[in-house]
Structure 1
Amino acid sequence: MRVTNPSPALYNEDLAPAQERRWGAFSIFNVWTSDVHSLWGYYLAASLFLLCGSFVNFVIAIGIGSLVIFALMSMVGNAGVRTGVPFPVLARASFGTFGANVPALVRAVVACFWYGAQTAAASGAIVALLVRSPGMLEFHQNSHLLGHSTLEVICYVIVWALQLLIIQRGMETVRKFQDWAGPAVWIMMLFLAIYLVVKAGTFSFGERIPQDVLLDATKDAGSFGTPGSFPALAAVAATWITYFAALYLNFCDFSRYATSERALRTGNLWGLPINLLAFCLVAGVTTTAAFDVYGEVLLHPEAISAKFDSWFLALLAALTFAVATLGINVVANFVSPAFDFANVFPRQIDFKRGGYIAALIALVLYPWAPWETGAASFVNFIGSTMGPIFGIMMVDYYLIRRGRIDVNALYQENGEFRFDGGWHRNAFIALIVGMIFSSILPTFTSILPSWWGIYGWFFGVAIGGAVYYVLRARGAARVQVA
C-alpha cells in the first residue's frame, strides 16, 4: 500500500511499506542460511550438539528448539508480509510513534555488538590461515595494537570495510549476495565433514569423546550439567532459541519483501527446522571426526582448517567461512540498525547512513571486544534484553489488534498511535518490568536461581507480554465504564 500525507518526522522511502516484493521462498530460505552458517553459529551448534550426549537427544533438544524458532519467526514474519513495514515502524503500534525509537535503538545497539563479534570471527578465520606462514606467525606474536595483535587489527579492518561494499545498492543487493553465499557455505561444510569423516575412517556422534575433555572444551558454551541429562537438554534448546532473539524482532525487515505468506512459510520451513537440524548435525559430526583425526575438540571450523596439510584447502575453507560470516553480518546486523537509526531521524538518516553508523560503532568497540566472553552468557544476556519487546509487540499485534493494523496511521504523528504524546505508557511499564526479570536481576544480583539466566529471554517474553495485556485490558475496561 501507499502512505498518504505522512508526517516527515516518521517517514522516508526506506521506512515506507514495501512496494516491490521479489523475495520468494528461496530468498527467505537463504536469509536463514546466511544468518545461521557463520563461525559463531557453527561454534554454538557444535557445542550444543556435543552437550546433547547422543543423536536421539540431539534430535529432541535441537528439533524442539528449531520448531519453536519456526513458529516465532512465522508470527513476526506474517506481520511483515501483511503490513509491508520494517520492525521500528511496526513497533509504533505498541510503543507509540516516537516511543518506538526505544526498542529500535535497543535492537540497533545489540546489532552493533553482534556486528563486531561476527566481523572479529570472520577476520579470525583469515588470521588462522595467514599464520601458517612463519613470517606472519612471528608478526602476529610480536606486534600488537589496540589490545590485539597488529595482524588481527589489519584483518578486522579489511573485513569490516568489505562488508560496506555489499550494501551500496540496498536490499536487492543483500538478497543477491545471500542467495549466492548461503549455498556456497553448505557446499564447504559438507566437504569439510566428508573430508574429516573419510580421514577418521569412522562416523560417530561424539560418544567417544571423554566427558571431562568434552566439558572442558564446551565450558564457554555454558554450564548445562551432565551432557544428555534433562537439565542439559532443556538448556540446549533454550540457548538455541535465544540465539535468534534479535531476529525475532526484525525478521519483518525481510519478510516485508516476500511475495506472499505462502512463500514465507515455505522458505521458513526449509530454512529453519530442516536447515537448523542439518546444520547442527553437520557441525557435530565434523567436530567429532576432527577429534578422531587430531585428538582435540575443535569447535571452531577455522581451527580445523588451519590443520589441513593443503594450503589450497585451508584457503578455500577460510574464505568460505569468512564469506558466510559476512552474510550473517549483512543480514542480521546491518539491515536492522540501518532501519532502526533511520527511524529515529528519518529526515537525516536513510538506510545506507544508518548502516554506516552501525558499522562505525562496531569499529569503535573493537579495542574492548565485549563479545569475547562465554558464548552462552553473551547470547543469553543479549537475547534476554529483547524478550520483553518481542512479547509486547506480539501480544499487541495478535491478541489486542487481532492481526489488523491501520498501516497509514503508523506514519501519522497525531493518529491512532500517538498515545501520550507519541509514547505508550503501558508498553514502557511492561518493558521495564519484563527487563527486571529477564536480564537485570539474573545478571546483577543473586536473588534468582542460577539457572534463571539461561531462560531469561522466555521470562522476558512472558512477563513483558502478560503485563502489557493486563494494562491494556484494564485501560479498555475503564473506557467502557466511562
Structure 2
Amino acid sequence: MYNIPDASPSLINEDLAPATERRWGAFSIFNVWTSDVHSLWGYYLAASLFLLCGSLLNFVIAIGLGSLVIYGLMTLVGNAGVRTGVPFPVLARASFGTFGANAPALIRGVVACFWYGAQTAAASGALVALLLRYPDMLAFHESSHMLGHSTLEVICYVIVWALQLLIILRGMETVRRFQDWAGPAVWVMMLFLAIYLVVKSGTFSFGSEIPQDVLVKATAEAGITTAPGTWPTLMAVAATWITYFAALYLNFCDFSRYATSERAVRVGNMWGLPVNLLAFCLVAGVTTTAAYSVYGEVLLHPDQISAKFDSWFLAALAALTFVVATLGINVVANFVSASFDFSNAAPRLIDFKRGGLIAAAIALILYPWAPWETGATHFVNFIGSTMGPIFGIMMVDYYLLRQGRLNVADLYRENGEFRFNNGWHGKAFIALFIGMVFSSILPTFTSILPSWWGMYGWFFGVAIGGGTYWLLRSGDMR
C-alpha cells in the first residue's frame, strides 16, 4: 500500500505508486533486453545491418559503438527508475506537468498498441507457416475466410493474443519469470539454427559472397540506401540501431523501478545491451549468410529459413521459438508500457491490468484491418518520432536541471511542485513542438532539409527538443 500524504486519487493507484517490492536483479534486467531484441523484426534488422556493414571490422565499429550509446542512454533512464521507483508516465509529470504528462504517455501508448498488434500478427504467422505443412491445414487455409483473413490466420492470432494476455494479467512478477525463462531459451534456439546452417553450408562467412545488388535489394526495408561498407552506411547503421530502441528509452523505467539497485541495472544493461546486441547481430548475420550458401537466397526473416527445413521437428522448434521471442518483445516494448500509460490517464478507473486489457482489446479490434500491413505504418512511425523530443526534455529536466533530485511525493499531488499551469507545463510543450518540427514534420512533409536528415531525425529531436527546454527553463531553476 502506498503511503503518500495528500496524494490525489486522480494521480495515483497501487500500480502507479513508487515500487516497494524490488526483486529484479541483473539477470532479470539482462532478460528484458533478450526479450526485447530477439523478435522476428529484430532478427531482420540485425541481419540486414550486419550485411550492410560489409566486413567484421565495420560491424564491430558500427554496431559496437551504437550498442554502447544504447547502453548509456538506457542506464540514464534506468537509474531514474531505480531512484524514484515510478513508471514512465509518472516520471514525465516532472517535466510536462501532473496532467500534461498524459500527452506523451498516450502517444507512447498508441504506438505500443499498434506494434502490439503487428508483433502478435508476426508471431501468429510463424504458427500458420508451420501448420501449412499439413495438406488438410493448407486446404482449410485456402477455403475458409473471416474478418478479411483466412480462418486459420484468425485462430492463430487469437491464440497468440490470449497467451500474451495470460502472462501480463498475472502481474509484473510473472513478466519477470517469463523473461528469465524465455530469454535464454531463444538464445539456445538461435545458436542451434546458426550451427545447423553453418555445418550444412560448410562455410563460416560474413556475406562477402552475396552480390551487392542482391544484398541492397534484400535489405531495402531497413531504409539505408548508400553502398554497403561505406562510412555513410556505417553511420546510418549505427543511427538505425540506436533509433530502433527509441520507445524503450522512454519506458525502461517501467522495469528498472523494480530493480534491486543501480548496480543491478548497470550490470544487466552491460550484458543485455553491448554484449548481447553484438552477439545477436553476429549470430543473425552468420545464419543469414550460411542460409544463402545452402538455399541460394537472402533469407533475412528466420521464419523464411525454418520454412525451408525438411524436418518437421526442426521447423516446429523454430516456430515455437519465434513465437516465444515475439511474445517477449510484445510484453516488454508494448504491453507493459500501454498498461501504465492508460492507467495514468484515469488512475481511479484503470489499474495496470485494466490498462493491459484496453491495449489487448485495441490490438484485437485492429486485426481485421491489419493497419501494420498498410500505409498506416508510416503514420505511426511519424507519431513515434516524437519520442526523441520527449526523451530529450525528460532527461534534461531530470539530470541537468534537477541534478537527479526529485520530489517524488509531489508527482502525486495536484497542487504540488509539478502543477505548473493547472497541471500542464507550457514550456515543455513548446519544446516538444519545436523538437517535432525538426524530428518529424519537416523531414516528412517537406523537402527543406537534406534527404539524409530523416535517418537521424530522432537524434535531432532529442537535441533540439531537450536544448529548447533547457533554454526555456534554465532561468527558472536558479
Instruction: State the TM-score bracket (shorter-chain normalisation).
Output: over 0.9
| 1:145 alignment counterpart | 146
- 1:219–1:381 distance in 2 versus 1, CA, 3 Å: same
Deviations 1:77-123 (A, max 9, x none): 00000000010000000000000000110110111111011111101
Matched AA of 1:230: W
- 1:193–1:373 distance in 2 versus 1, CA, 3 Å: farther
Name the CA distance, whole Å, in 2 between partners of 1:203 and 1:172. 41
SS of residue in 2 equivalent to 1:10 = coil
- 1:359–1:171 distance in 2 versus 1, CA, 3 Å: same
| 2:451 alignment counterpart | 450
| 2:231 alignment counterpart | 230
Q: Give yes or no for contact 1:383–1:457 (8 Å, CA) kept in 2.
A: no
Name the CA distance, whole Å, in 1 between partners of 2:72 and 2:375. 28
Correspondences of 1:144-293 after superposition (within 5 Å): 144-293=145-294
| 1:307 alignment counterpart | 308
Flag structure 2 segments of 5+ consecutive residues without an equivalent: none
- Superposed displacement of residue 224, structure 1: 2.8
Greater alpha carbon shift after TM alignment, 366-375 vs 104-113:
366-375
Q: TM-score, normalised by structure 2?
A: 0.97
Deviations 1:311-333 (A, max 9, x none): 01100110011011101111111
Deviations 1:355-388 (A, max 9, x none): 1111111122223333236999789646422100
Name the CA distance, whole Å, in 1 between partners of 2:439 and 2:204. 41
Matched AA of 1:249: L
How large is the Cα RMSD of the aligned pairs?
1.7
- Superposed displacement of residue 2, structure 1: 4.0
| 1:397 alignment counterpart | 398
Name the CA distance, whole Å, in 2 between partners of 1:471 and 1:382. 24
Q: State whether structure 2 residue 314 is matched by structure 1 residue 322.
A: no
Name the CA distance, whole Å, in 1 between partners of 2:52 and 2:146. 37
| 1:463 alignment counterpart | 464
Q: State whether structure 2 residue 112 is matched by structure 1 residue 124.
A: no
Q: TM-score, normalised by structure 1?
A: 0.96
Q: State whether structure 2 residue 18 is matched by structure 1 residue 8.
A: no
- 1:448–1:140 distance in 2 versus 1, CA, 3 Å: farther
- Superposed displacement of residue 141, structure 1: 3.6
| 1:480 alignment counterpart | none
Name the CA distance, whole Å, in 2 between partners of 1:20 and 1:129. 41
Q: Give yes or no for contact 1:220–1:374 (8 Å, CA) kept in 2.
A: no
Name the CA distance, whole Å, in 1 between partners of 2:342 and 2:311. 45
Name the CA distance, whole Å, in 2 between partners of 1:215 and 1:117. 25
Correspondences of 1:424-443 after superposition (within 5 Å): 424-443=425-444
SS of residue in 2 equivalent to 1:62 = helix
| 1:61 alignment counterpart | 62
SS of residue in 2 equivalent to 1:224 = coil
Deviations 1:294-323 (A, max 9, x none): 111111111111111110110011001101
Matched AA of 2:98: T
- Superposed displacement of residue 473, structure 1: 2.1
Flag structure 1 segments of 5+ consecutive residues without an equivalent: 478-482
| 2:296 alignment counterpart | 295
Name the CA distance, whole Å, in 1 between partners of 2:305 and 2:383. 28
- 1:351–1:118 distance in 2 versus 1, CA, 3 Å: same
- 1:373–1:301 distance in 2 versus 1, CA, 3 Å: farther
| 2:347 alignment counterpart | 346
Name the CA distance, whole Å, in 2 between partners of 1:156 and 1:46. 26
Name the CA distance, whole Å, in 2 between partners of 1:88 and 1:338. 11
Name the CA distance, whole Å, in 2 between partners of 1:323 and 1:259. 26
Matched AA of 1:260: S
| 1:100 alignment counterpart | 101
Q: Give yes or no for contact 1:196–1:289 (8 Å, CA) kept in 2.
A: yes
Q: Give yes or no for contact 2:391–2:462 (8 Å, CA) kept in 1.
A: yes
SS of residue in 2 equivalent to 1:392 = helix
Deviations 1:423-481 (A, max 9, x none): 0000000011111111122122222222111111111101100110111124457xxxx
Q: Give yes or no for contact 2:15–2:352 (8 Å, CA) kept in 1.
A: yes
- Superposed displacement of residue 148, structure 1: 3.0
